[in-house]
Amino acid sequence: MQNMLLNEAIEKYYGLNREDIYASMKMNTIIREEMKLFLDMDGFIEVNPVIISPISDPLNHPVQDPWIDYYGFRYRLTKSMIFHKQLSMVFFDKIFIFSPNIRVEPLDRKSTGRHLVEFTQLDLEVRNAKREDVMEIAEKMIEKVVRRVMEEFDIKFLNPGLKVFKRPYRKIKYLDAKSEYGEDFELKLSKEMDEPFWIIDIPLEAREFYDKETEPGSGILRDMDLIYPLGYGEAISGGEREYQYERILERIKRKGQNPEEFALLLEAAKKGLYPSAGFGIGIERFVRFLRGKEDISSITLFPKKIGEFTI
């Protein structure tokens, strides 16, 4: 009796239901297991996460850069491992990481249901690959996970719209989607669809400097986002990468960023980087979608909610 009361008090304190959080964390376990098996079988090497580094992803929206004093140097907390992935291509041709990211997201993202301050992405990169190669990997990997969770979980724990989605997913060009649906095309389309779909050919202004232009000066990138259906929004971002020194430098400048901040990347590019393509898929967002939950902070233990003081 005393234990039950204690459990109830704890559940109330954390705003969690034991059975519900168990299902979410079990889903989290299975997603990681299936992804790892799938990638291992496909010849990928798992690289360990980098938590601190002098450089991290600049991102394309304002995110405060948390940093630590590292023997007098300014080391940032990882926002994504994009540059380390590119550098890893020197040693391996296929890599993945379960990469913990810290992004102190702006307050206006508080109610999207999709944003945490601390989350993990399965980040992967393939040497000499094209965008289409990694899109196929994503679709197959998602299918494997979906099949397993549909087998393993009672339907009361699953998104009612979940099914084995037809591959290949539909591809829609960013500018076409925007001209038809307006600025908010991503969410509008996501609500309209019952299958995941790709947004491709994203303009340079909407993305970071490291995704590759279709050709120098075109302003359109060889990249893509995967969007979940039923209103769940973005699942994946990825693309082919700029890897030549001159191109990277030019893109940094065009973005109005300071090349000195990316000196380590530029130095590596001078020595020689490989062409590559890759993507990142947010694990918590995947759990949220599979479980059919509105709020991402309800499916993970100790969520770091935007603007809130939590453990």
Contacts (Cβ under 8 Å, ≥6 apart) of 190: 227, 228, 229, 230, 231, 232, 233
CA–CA separation, 18 vs 25, rounded Å? 11
Nearer Cβ to ligand AMP (80/272): 80
Nearest CA-CA partner of 205 in 177, 248, 174: 174
Count of residues binding Mg ion (CB under 5 A)?
1
Give least dist CB 32 to ligand AMP, A.
Answer: 15
281 binds, among ligand AMP, Mg ion, none (CB under 5 to 8 A by kind): ligand AMP
Min CB(73)–ligand AMP separation in Å: 25
Indicate which of ligand AMP, Mg ion, none lies near residue 119 (CB less than 5 to 8 Å, by partner kind). ligand AMP
- 307 by Cβ neighbours in 10 Å (0-12 / 13-18 / 19+) ranks as exposed
Supply φ then ψ for residue 238, to 5 degrees.
Answer: -170, -175
Q: How far is the CB of 190 from ligand AMP (least distance, A)?
A: 13
Q: Find which of ligand AMP, Mg ion, none residue 282 binds, CB within 5 to 8 Å per kind.
A: ligand AMP
Contact 223, 211 (CB under 8 A): yes
Q: Which is nearer to ligand AMP, 60 or 245 (CB)?
A: 60
Q: How far is the CB of 237 from Mg ion (least distance, A)?
A: 3
**Considering the rule CB under 5 A, would residue 121 count as an interface residue with Mg ion?**
no
DSSP secondary structure string, 239-290? EEB--SHHHHHHHHHHTT--GGGGHHHHHHHHH----EEEEEEEHHHHHHHH
C-alpha span between 242 and 251 (Å, rounded): 9
Site string for Mg ion, 201-240 (x = CB under 5 A): ------------------------------------x---
Residue whose CB is less far from ligand AMP, 80 or 190: 80
In the complex, least distance from residue 204 CB atom to Mg ion, rounded to whole angstroms: 15
Q: What residue number has its CB nearest to Mg ion?
A: 237
Q: Nearest residue to ligand AMP, using CB?
A: 282
* DSSP code of residue 49: P
Neighbours of 220 (CB within 10 A): 16
Are 200 and 173 in contact by the 8 Å Cβ rule? The answer is yes
Nearer to Mg ion, 23 or 277 (CB): 277
Give residues in contact with ligand AMP (CB under 6 A).
Answer: 80, 103, 105, 115-116, 119, 121, 234-237, 280-282, 284-285
Q: Which is nearer to Mg ion, 30 or 280 (CB)?
A: 280
Would you say 236 and 80 are in contact if contact means Cβ atoms under 8 Å apart?
no
Name which of Mg ion, ligand AMP, none residue 125 binds, using a CB cut-off of 5 to 8 Å depending on partner kind. Answer: none
Q: By the criterion CB under 5 A, which residues form the site for Mg ion?
A: 237
